[in-house]
Amino acid sequence: GLAGLTHGLLDTGAGELDEEKIADRLADIGARLGGSVDQDRASISLRSLSSAREREAALELMRLVLQQPMFPAAALEREKARSIAGIREADTRPGSIAAKRFAAALYPGHPYGRLPTVESVEKITRDDLLAFYRAHYGARRAVVSIIGDLGRAEAEAIAPAHGATHDATQHVTAPLVRR
């Protein structure tokens, strides 16, 4: 649904970088951006090399992706089509059908009981993504965990220096989309 598409489209364009340039930069610095989304939370993960140069470049790219996502129209349409295909395929499996019905019966009127449908995904717009992003992505909702080859002082400097103090609800504006 909306949460999954918002999360999945974060790295399809940010700032002045398109999806390909983001992927190229990640490859050039030996980093990997990942994460997951479920009904309660989203996570963003970054794996990078230990050297300061590569680590800083990776952190800066992650900051850009988190603070200036573009949600390009072409990527949105591609990912909506992929999501719809997945929903249609799941709707052919008895286990998936039963799980949807069980969730709806167990959680009537609650988001846990409302799973994405073909119709709900078809209706998602870029404005919906921006509104969801503004409401749910920002420092006030973030938990930062750092694991790796660095000291405590370095780790404590990373979070505020790379966007953990960013408040998406106050600073994000809809970027201009070039067609």
The 3-state secondary structure of the chain, one letter per residue:
CHHHHHHHCHHHEECCEEHHHHHHHHHHCCCEEEEEECCCCEEEEEECCCCHHHHHHHHHHHHHHHHCECCCHHHHHHHHHHHHHHHHHHCCCHHHHHHHHHHHHHCCCCHHHCCCCHHHHHCCCHHHHHHHHHHHCCHHHCCCCCCCCCCHHHHHHHHHHCCCCCCHHHHCCCCCCCC
Name the pTM for this structure: 0.81
The per-residue pLDDT string of the chain (179 residues; one tens digit each, 9 = 90 and over) reads: 999 999 999 999 999 999 999 999 999 999 999 999 988 888 889 999 989 899 999 999 999 999 999 999 999 999 999 999 999 999 999 999 999 999 999 999 898 998 899 999 999 999 999 999 999 888 777 788 888 888 888 888 887 654 444 444 444 444 444 44
